[in-house]
Amino acid sequence: MTDPSVLYLGDRIVVRYRVDDRRLTDVTGLVRDTNDPLIVEGTGPKERGEHISIRRTDVISVRLLSYATVRNSEIRAVAQKLARAVPAHVDLHSGWLLRAEAAAPLDNSAVPVDVEARADGSSLSAISQWYTERGLPPILALPERLIPDAHLAGTPVGPLLHVLVKPDDSSDAIVVDATDRPRGEDFRSSGYRLHHVMRHLQPGTYGDA
């Protein structure tokens, strides 16, 4: 569930909200006002173009969507480009790009850059050993959808990140702290749109992917 406080004007979302004491409904659309009530311009077949006013107390859940439908392969391509752009010592293991000696702590993390990347016992053990040998905690950088949440457990590290792109050129990508409203609004006003979200996790117990 997305915290409504990190929504931005123009973001595409799905909101489940309470209509009355008995009924819930969903609306997919664009955020037109982030205050209370939340205003969403419907983009689905039933509500297209309609501005729907939703009181915050009626919101059950909010899911943030990319500006347009994107494939996992597109998320992976942007994630790999951003990961390799960081000056760092890198190794590749079973589809994970392992990075160390980067200036920013969260850039010392493992990113799933290939379709073969899994969060299974063998992979996580190898990642953990690689970082331990370098005196670093094992941290996974997890672009949404590439590794199913059900396959991982651990401790969240750092803020939720928004990966923004120019709609006509997804290679022009930047990463913004989701809670940094001035920067988030700045880039969106310059034409950037949400491509995917990313989080960091220090893995604990896990199941096989």
Let me know whether 146 and 53 are in one domain: no
Question: Phi, psi at residue 134, to the nearest 5°?
Answer: -105, 10
**Whole-structure pTM value:** 0.88
Domain count, the chain: 2
Let me know whether 109 and 53 are in one domain: no
| Beta-sheet pairing, 38-42 with 51-54 | antiparallel
Range of the domain at 52: 4-65
pLDDT value, residue 152: 83
Let me know whether 45 and 107 are in one domain: no
| CATH number (domain holding residue 31) | 2.30.30.520
Let me know whether 189 and 135 are in one domain: yes
pLDDT value, residue 51: 97
pLDDT value, residue 3: 74
pLDDT value, residue 149: 76
Q: Which residues of the chain have pLDDT under 50?
A: 206-209
pLDDT value, residue 148: 84
Question: Phi, psi at residue 200, to the nearest 5°?
Answer: -120, 145
pLDDT in tens, 55-90: 999 999 999 999 999 999 999 999 999 999 999 999
Let me know whether 39 and 77 are in one domain: no
